[in-house]
Chains A and B, each alone.
Chain A
Amino acid sequence: GIQVEQSPPDLILQEGANSTLRCNFSDSVNNLQWFHQNPWGQLINLFYIPSGTKQNGRLSATTVATERYSLLYISSSQTTDSGVYFCAVERMDSSYKLIFGSGTRLLVRP
């Protein structure tokens, strides 16, 4: 099956720092999404980004489908950015079912 690898697994930042999270996937996909799981466990959809670049405030994401990777940029990090960031992909033969990576755990210190 398709493999989704995220790096780094853990990241500690000082408030105000920037960071880049990476997601590699092993096969062609229909779509790719980024989620944030906050410390209380709630999963929030950040980006639907099968290709190209999108920005939402301090967050932006880029997917290069031909090279099978996606990047999530966090600028001017805040303590509320802490949590786990998941990349999830949908296989080409799928009914919108998502395959999740194991996540990047981010801690932003004040």
Chain B
Amino acid sequence: NAGVTQTPKFRVLKTGQSMTLLCAQDMNHEYMYWYRQDPGMGLRLIHYSVGEGTTAKGEVPDGYNVSRLKKQNFLLGLESAAPSQTSVYFCASSWGAQGYTFGSGTRLTVV
């Protein structure tokens, strides 16, 4: 049982490049989330989804887009990467208030 899997684990981008981070969960959870963690800080919510085909903005959505075409997958896109988007990105899923499960994170550096 893999839980929540994030790919890739590491990535270096040049300013202006685009990329997509993939999150996959095998727990049949309805809710999925993308967070970012900056040094010395807690996690901040970027976007989230309450079910297949739905997405919504979180606390820090600017510069990111998301899609949830299948229940088990939640994609996070950066259309034009900026150095301010250097961070560790975490995906999570849950079946409600409980059962929050995080992926192992993606470390992204934008140079």
Contact = CB atoms under 8 A, between A and B. Distances in A.
A98 B45 contact: yes
B97 A48 contact: yes
B67 interface: no
B96 A96 contact: yes
Interface residues of A, number: 25
Say whether chain A's binding surface is mostly helix, strand, loop, or mixed: strand
A43 B90 contact: yes
B33 interface: yes
Q: Place the interface of chain B in its size category.
A: 20 to 34
A90 B88 contact: no
A102 B96 contact: no
B61 interface: no
Nearest to B100: A45
Contacts of B56: 95
Interface of A: 1, 4, 30-31, 33, 35, 41-45, 48, 50, 86, 88, 90, 95-103
Interface of B: 31, 33, 35, 40-45, 48, 50, 56, 58-59, 88, 90, 92, 94, 96-98, 100-102, 104-105
28 contacts: A1-B59, A4-B42, A30-B97, A31-B98, A41-B88, A41-B104, A42-B104, A42-B105, A43-B92, A43-B102, A45-B100, A45-B101, A45-B102, A48-B97, A86-B42, A86-B43, A95-B31, A95-B50, A96-B96, A97-B33, A98-B33, A98-B43, A98-B100, A100-B35, A100-B44, A102-B41, A102-B42, A103-B42
